[in-house]
Structure 1
């Protein structure tokens, strides 16, 4: 699950196309851009690149006489509660109410919840990460992944709307055979076109769109690769087996992700209060067993080692990605985005 989540970040830049309607193209700000400097913080740099790419995509769509998509509406139900509660997204009376705790802060628990007090208050809440082994393999088509998400809300029916959506998708992501293909460290194959407006914007910013695609895929999946290696490490597997024995009196499951799935199945037949109570009971049991078996500590310790190994293996891609990113920042500043 976590691998899939990080593979999906390959297409994050494509999500920008869904919000380009609110971006200016920067054409009338070039003079101001000459006196600006590349921002220092990573967050500001990310914002600059996102804005520049979105503006370039909008300019390209306008040139192709294609109306940009409208920004997606803010929908609280669509945001979910993080990976930790994805098991609760099924239908049923109890699951919907229990899976969106309004006050639960976002927490990262990549190897299972290890805070019993937090679990007692929030259940699975917004706990990101399930401790379930990441699974490599499979294929990913960045265009197909994003096509549904780029459609303007309320325009999902009717032949005309379908035709407009197809035209927009073709303009954004390109057509025909996916010329670009690369395999992530977790085993996923990701493909994309090189003739859409997104590809054109990336060429303008980074110089070589094919190389940017390959390095972006690699860099965005480094953390997933390290996590996958942890979950396959014998030391982690031994700790996970201890955790499963510890949790068995409450529920016989193999890992924290499976515990969430078990809660989902039971919550479908429960009212909101009962579903919430069961969720908290399971979450507290998970946390206590994670603590007593050192599951989270083992995962964190192993992740440091595996992350260093992954970064060493992909050092060339990381350096190449950094160089192209720096080029993109300079281009964005000079253009006044």
Structure 2
């Protein structure tokens, strides 16, 4: 079964994850590590370099789609840079006073996606053309590339189509890139799950909930208060959203929840990075090796 998401305004197919045994996953990782042995000195990738790699990939996709007979406009990596995620609790009072829980920024992001050149182009196509452009972008089926998430679940993607062609040209070893990319992308979500179920976090949330109750809000967790703040009509609930988010942030500071969440996030990040250090190192090596190729693609344009 495949699910579809939007990338750059075009429908992208990805396989749904299905369970696999941890032993199978471990065996697959050992095989993967053997193919990631290229010696590239490791160092952090800078934000500028991350943008360069993303832009190069977008330009390669554009050229590939042009050869396939379709239009594609490179999309910005971060169209709403002021948008922020607070996986544990809103802890920035200044940001909360301006954006509440960020419903205004989510609306802006949705509006930009809806009105993007790629979306308008896609919607202008006939049903047959829409199917063709999706295949050109993503390949005919989600087969050919496989990665395993930290919980052992596999995800798959086609090794054909313009997305895979662009990544193959940029990173050369496409299977290794997909394998390390999917694991790297999934780690923040798994880290958040560890923090949210940590006893220290749950204890701090109890104190935070009492603080919220003192201020007139009956919510057991920040997830509940966010759900309440984001519910309802935007105009009618905007003042409530901001007031609730500001109170959440104030209580997070007063009770120590914000401090506890940050400390636990650092702790579990370190645990996961140590556990998957080989995969993370392999991903970083592929990025560093691709920088010169990315530069040759981006700088002329």
The TM-score with structure 2 as length reference comes to: 0.69
Give the structure 2 partner of residue 43 of structure 1.
47
Give the structure 2 partner of residue 311 of structure 1.
273
Name the CA shift for 1:211/1:127 in 2 (closer, same or farther; >3 Å).
Answer: farther
Whole-angstrom distance in 2 between the partners of 1:118 and 1:205: 37
Give the counterpart of 1:66 among 47, 66, 69: 69
C-alpha displacement of 1:204:
1.6
Give the structure 1 partner of residue 90 of structure 2.
113
Give the structure 2 partner of residue 280 of structure 1.
242
Equivalent residues of 1:247, 1:289 under 8 A apart: yes
Whole-angstrom distance in 2 between the partners of 1:127 and 1:296: 23
Equivalent residues of 1:186, 1:224 under 8 A apart: no
Whole-angstrom distance in 2 between the partners of 1:120 and 1:322: 37
Whole-angstrom distance in 2 between the partners of 1:291 and 1:55: 44
The TM-score with structure 1 as length reference comes to: 0.62
Gaps of 5+ in 1: 1-10, 19-39, 74-78, 83-104, 129-145
Structural mapping, 1:1-337, within 5 Å: 15=8, 42-63=46-67, 65-70=68-73, 106=83, 109-116=86-93, 119-120=96-97, 122-125=99-102, 151-153=118-120, 155-156=122-123, 160-185=125-150, 189-248=154-213, 250-265=216-231, 267-268=232-233, 272=235, 275-333=237-295
Name the CA shift for 1:227/1:150 in 2 (closer, same or farther; >3 Å).
Answer: farther
Q: How many pairs align? A: 251
Deviations 1:39-77 (A, max 9, x none): x972332233223222322332333x321234679xxxx
Gaps of 5+ in 2: 12-43, 106-112
C-alpha displacement of 1:313:
0.9
Equivalent residues of 1:17, 1:54 under 8 A apart: no
C-alpha displacement of 1:301:
0.9
Whole-angstrom distance in 2 between the partners of 1:228 and 1:291: 21
Q: Secondary structure at the match of 1:248?
A: helix
